[in-house]
Structure 1
Amino acid sequence: MRLLHAERLEFEEFYDTQIPRYLILSHRWGEKEVSYQQMKKKRAEEGPGLTKILNFCTLARGGGYTWVWVDTCCIDKKSSAELSEAINSMFKWYKSAEECVVLLSDVSLGVKGVDDEDFQAEFAASSWFTRGWTLQELLAPRQLTFCDMEWKEIGDKGSLRGMVSAITGINKNFIAQDKYRPLAVDFANVAMRMSWAAKRKTSRSEDMAYSLLGLFDVNMPLLYGEGAEKAFVRLQTEIIQKSDDETIFAWTANVPQAGMLATDPSFFADAGAIQSAPAYGYGELRYWMTNKGLALQIPDSEWPADTSHKSNTVIVVPIHVQSDSHVDLGIQLQCMNTRNIWCRTMCQSLMCLPKRSRVFSRKEDTSHVIYIRAGKFVTEAT
């Protein structure tokens, strides 16, 4: 990890247990940001970018910090290998920081107090709350302090968690917590975490997926140029390699048919209240990636007796999730050809399922395996 000395303005590399305590900055990028090369050679132009770093270092020294981390200058973005390592490590770096300072460059506290309605409206309208990268910067740090454009302290995320929750749609229990307990976001299901990102944006389309790597504790190579859809499908593929959380399938979209995985975080906009649920009589659903798409192993108990693998056959597959009213939910699938390739239909909503009393026993059941393309569905010839 490369840190910047808050007084000498010189870089130093640290590894693992050698990393000292440091202050980390979260901010919106603006004009004339200072690069690693400019900072290293002390050739940074006078302007908002350099002023931001100098003010942050002054704030750090006042708080007793020797080292700081700023994404604009502490990453050599000309090195694709270093950029990939940094993005895959970003959540950990924000989590490991002694404290995170958020600079809201479009908010002015002035003489107003935090309880002032006009200030609260200005705070809520800050573009910082709309960006993809700032989601992990909000959730990862144990201690986070908001500052206005003049570096005046507004409050920390503990005291402001009610306001932050209302702005972001994130339950306040996931925003602030005791620093010695496990990170609260680790207990949120996949659909809930995805819903937090559903309305956020990034400048580069692929970054919408890359900015979520740490939130799901997965790693993957960066392939700028692959496009937002492929990047987001790759992210979900990595998630299902390490998690059996079926809420990853609890998305909805205004499309007639689709693959098994969402192609955009916005598909999870209404999934924030989705809950993981026990089987309650529904057969176990197993799934894994293959070269034919996502393979679903559906228990015979959930396979209609008169159903074959003929084209246009429709089934409803239970996914072990519930709505906020504890209704069991499923998805509708349709067979598209004789090669056993299926797609999801009725994507606008999840299917409500009847309550079941029979407890499923795998020993008494056989199963059917079908294949569903992971991302956007493409009609295939029979």
Structure 2
Amino acid sequence: MKLLQLPECILGEFEATATPKFAILSNCRDNIHLRGGKRDISSSNLHESFANSWIIKAADHLALLGIYHIWVAEVCIGSADEERNEAVNGLRQRLEKAEVCFVYLHDLPAGVSYDQDVWAKCTFWKQARALPDLLIPPRVEFFDQGWAPRGSKGSTELASLISSITNISTRVLLDSSTLTDFGLGVRISWAAGRTASLEEDLIYYLAPILGISMQTRYDEGREQAFLRLQKKVLRDCRDGSLFGWLSSDEKEVRGMFSKSPDEFSHFAGPHKKYQWDGPWPMSSKIRFCNRGLELQVQTYKLDPYIVVDIGCCEANLSQLKHRRVGVLLRNWSGVYVRAKPAVQSVVFSTAPFQMIDVVQHLDARKASKIRSYFESQDNSSSLMSISQVEKHLTTTLAISTSPRDVLEAGSMPGISPNEDTRSGNATPTSVQLSTGIKRGRSGRPMSSPGSRQEQAGPSSRSYRRSHSDSESSDSDSDASSESEYDDYDEYEDEVIELDPNHPLLVIRSNLVDFVYGQGKSWMSSATYTTPPQDRLPPKKRCRTIDDQSSPALIKYEEGADDHFIARRFDGFYHLACPYYIAKPEKYYKSCLLGHSLQSIEDVIGHLIQHHKEPPYCPICRREFDSPWVRDQHVRTRTCAVVNSGEVDGVNERQRRKLRKRDRVRLGEETRWTRVWHTVFPELAPPESPYLHDGVDVAVAMMRDYWATRGPKLAEGYLGDSAQLDSHDMQTLDAFYRLVLDDLLAKVWDDVDFRSGSGEAGSSETV
């Protein structure tokens, strides 16, 4: 590293491991760029050249701090390619190692107070080089045109003033270590509206803010440099806010990447659309291919477009758990391009994953050609017109003060903009949404338990291959198995409770007592058994109707005289959660009453979603609610080392193994045992993976009873107590779920089942 030694003004080069204490001088008066400084003078006359310069004046202040070496752009950057690359790629490390960064505001009048109007006129705030100089160094000192100290960015008053001028959060100004807590879209927005003497330098100064390094290619232009930066960033993260940019022309046709940091300006400033500043978790899988970007992403059909989910913007945690954002894509010759790039959609439901190819970048000529093609298609096609689509889309992503307003806006794929998309003043269209709705991962409202057989039948994801498929190679099984569980990874279903004054809740207790009496009577005579281990999944866990004349579930056994004996029974045992068996005192009630596991896919999905290893301190083994809180704790370095102490949960390594080791061809018990060995490699597996004793099987049987007969009993009971026509299916579905919760709670509290004196039904084992 080249440093200028003071007061002699001798330029020297130092090894990275032997760098003396040094300061960085930041000055926008000469508008120095990273391509090379103004070092057109020899080392012998540097002191003479700088005799009356601002560098010598800075030296007087640095001497008070015991610092006699400085890094300044116009002296320490040469014109050679190696020096330019070092200046760009070593910028972050250089700023972090510096003892202090002096910012000389040559156009700030001496003695002026903290008047925002006066300070905002300083050209430093609009320079690209100001961004890393403000954010990365732990200590930044400001001086006015008379070289009088004006304060440090670490002071609350000055940090607040700088934040008002630059739209940069005071949190990162006061603590540079929090930089990574901000999403990519927010960090890029800090570069919006800034200038540099060479347009590529705007991107090179942004790179260390995003935590990457870039090769310098001057004369390529800002757009190409920004495209390279986005590709580089995308290889190392899955922050969907990188795709959250907005164009000023909604009729444009674009690629997936932005052209300028200015298109991220809505992430900060007066027109800020998102209260959440953190990363947007994006559950998609992304890879680069010869057709652009290959995305395995959740999509929503809206002819002639698709809405692609680009991540979860947890904007209002107290009112709505997940608030996701989508962008519009349109098919062109087998690949997708971004259409209406000035529009975004609020996404509240979930949808299946789909593999699509999206163009990364379009030049102006090709974009114009595609745009003309789309316009001709819209004029001649019977598909939904652009104006009709606009009625279903919105660009209003500002946080609603009312959770009801947010939910109303989210019941459609999107809402149309009523005003300028960049103004932040659009008004969402209000759509009535029934209360008490739970939406499944398919994006559709979940039907009543009777119709969808939530408890009785296997999961809709459970078995999609025929018997011949189950004999396929392990590699095929691997690929399919991993895709089966992708939608378990990030989000839980969102449940909207019924209003406490809803009329159905008045009869809730009486209905529960009525159904429980009927169910307990059925359970006393019902027969359950283990499913056949013929490597095929059981078709059903329970009979679906009460008609005794219809075929019951039948198990065939070979008799003594080589005859097959048919035994009638009512259902198969449900599978147990491995954590429930290994640590019943901790997970007994929550796993048993909260989840029904009717397939191995259900077991794996349950482990991934509900038994994920929590963030914990590797030093003291303390658990935390979020990685951010854990990291804050670790940074304090105040805890003591604890060598013992177990942290429950499936870690990332186990999560991958759960997906890859599952084999449908092995049979249910063997597959469950594999799951056990993955989660608890040092513990011996239990004799059975099923819930077959006491209250365990009683809870499972009550689930099955409610799923197969409960809604019919409830409808008959409610027919005399309420007008069912006044309640839609979604409201009834929410009510039925509350009834099921009460039924399971009564089974749990029933002394007969817990003591074993009234054990449910009879059991048979294979």
Matched, 1:131 2:127: yes
Letter in 2 for 1:290: C
Aligned partners of 2:210 and 2:128: how far apart in 1?
14
Aligned to 2:148: 152
Aligned to 2:76: 74
The answer (yes or no) to whether the contact 1:39–1:73 under 8 Å persists in 2 is no
Secondary structure of 1:155's aligned partner: strand
Aligned to 2:495: none
Secondary structure of 1:251's aligned partner: coil
Aligned to 1:370: 357
Secondary structure of 2:53's aligned partner: helix
Secondary structure of 2:348's aligned partner: coil
Deviations 1:147-181 (A, max 9, x none): 0011100000022101011111111001012xxxx
Aligned to 2:533: none
Of 287, 311, 315, 2:306 maps to: 315
Deviations 1:319-367 (A, max 9, x none): 1132745642100000111xx22111121131111345xxx8xxxx764
The answer (yes or no) to whether the contact 1:98–1:143 under 8 Å persists in 2 is yes
Deviation at 1:30, TM superposition (A): 2.2
Secondary structure of 1:236's aligned partner: helix
Distance 1:321 1:366, change over 3 A: closer
Distance 1:174 1:43, change over 3 A: closer
Q: Which runs of structure 2 are paired with 1:1-382 in the superposition (5 Å)?
A: 1-30=1-30, 35-38=38-41, 40-42=43-45, 51-76=53-78, 78-110=79-111, 112-114=112-114, 117=115, 120-159=116-155, 160-177=158-175, 183-255=177-249, 256-272=252-268, 273=274, 275-278=278-281, 284-299=283-298, 302=299, 304=301, 313-322=304-313, 324-325=315-316, 327-337=323-333, 340-356=334-350, 367-374=354-361, 376=363, 378-379=366-367
Aligned partners of 1:231 and 1:277: how far apart in 2?
24
Letter in 2 for 1:249: F
Please report the TM-score for the alignment, with normalisation by the length of structure 2. Answer: 0.43
Secondary structure of 1:287's aligned partner: strand
Aligned partners of 1:277 and 1:210: how far apart in 2?
24
Deviation at 1:58, TM superposition (A): 2.5
Letter in 2 for 1:368: M
Aligned partners of 1:165 and 1:31: how far apart in 2?
23
Secondary structure of 1:21's aligned partner: coil
Worse-superposed segment, 62-71 or 316-325: 316-325
Counting strand residues as a fraction of each chain, which structure ranks higher?
1
Worse-superposed segment, 5-14 or 139-148: 5-14
Letter in 2 for 1:351: S
Distance 1:335 1:347, change over 3 A: same
Deviations 1:97-139 (A, max 9, x none): 00111000000233x444xx4xx32212111000111101000
Aligned residues: 350
Deviation at 1:61, TM superposition (A): 1.8
Deviation at 1:91, TM superposition (A): 2.1
Secondary structure of 2:311's aligned partner: strand
Letter in 2 for 1:229: E
The answer (yes or no) to whether the contact 1:75–1:82 under 8 Å persists in 2 is yes
Distance 1:123 1:12, change over 3 A: same
Aligned partners of 1:52 and 1:157: how far apart in 2?
21
Distance 1:288 1:32, change over 3 A: closer
Deviations 1:50-74 (A, max 9, x none): 6122212222223211211111101
Aligned partners of 2:101 and 2:4: how far apart in 1?
15
Aligned partners of 1:43 and 1:13: how far apart in 2?
15
Aligned partners of 2:42 and 2:131: how far apart in 1?
27
Secondary structure of 1:294's aligned partner: strand
Aligned partners of 1:46 and 1:231: how far apart in 2?
35
Aligned partners of 1:140 and 1:94: how far apart in 2?
6
The answer (yes or no) to whether the contact 2:287–2:293 under 8 Å persists in 1 is yes
Higher relative contact order structure (alpha carbons within 8 Å, sequence separation ≥ 6): 1
Deviation at 1:37, TM superposition (A): 4.2
Deviation at 1:293, TM superposition (A): 1.6
Deviation at 1:45, TM superposition (A): 7.5
Please report the TM-score for the alignment, with normalisation by the length of structure 1. Answer: 0.84
Worse-superposed segment, 236-245 or 83-92: 83-92
RMSD: 2.7
Deviation at 1:245, TM superposition (A): 0.9
Letter in 2 for 1:161: A
The percent of aligned pairs where both chains have the same amino acid is 25
Deviations 1:198-225 (A, max 9, x none): 1211121111111111111211211111
Deviation at 1:46, TM superposition (A): 5.1
Secondary structure of 2:174's aligned partner: coil
Runs of 5+ unmatched residues, structure 1: none
Letter in 1 for 2:329: L
Letter in 2 for 1:345: A
Aligned partners of 1:40 and 1:121: how far apart in 2?
41
Secondary structure of 1:276's aligned partner: coil
The answer (yes or no) to whether the contact 1:263–1:375 under 8 Å persists in 2 is no
Worse-superposed segment, 237-246 or 347-356: 347-356
Which of structure 1's runs of 4+ aligned residues deviate more than 6 A?
31-34
Distance 1:12 1:298, change over 3 A: same
Aligned partners of 1:225 and 1:268: how far apart in 2?
24
Secondary structure of 1:138's aligned partner: helix
Secondary structure of 1:8's aligned partner: coil
Secondary structure of 2:216's aligned partner: coil
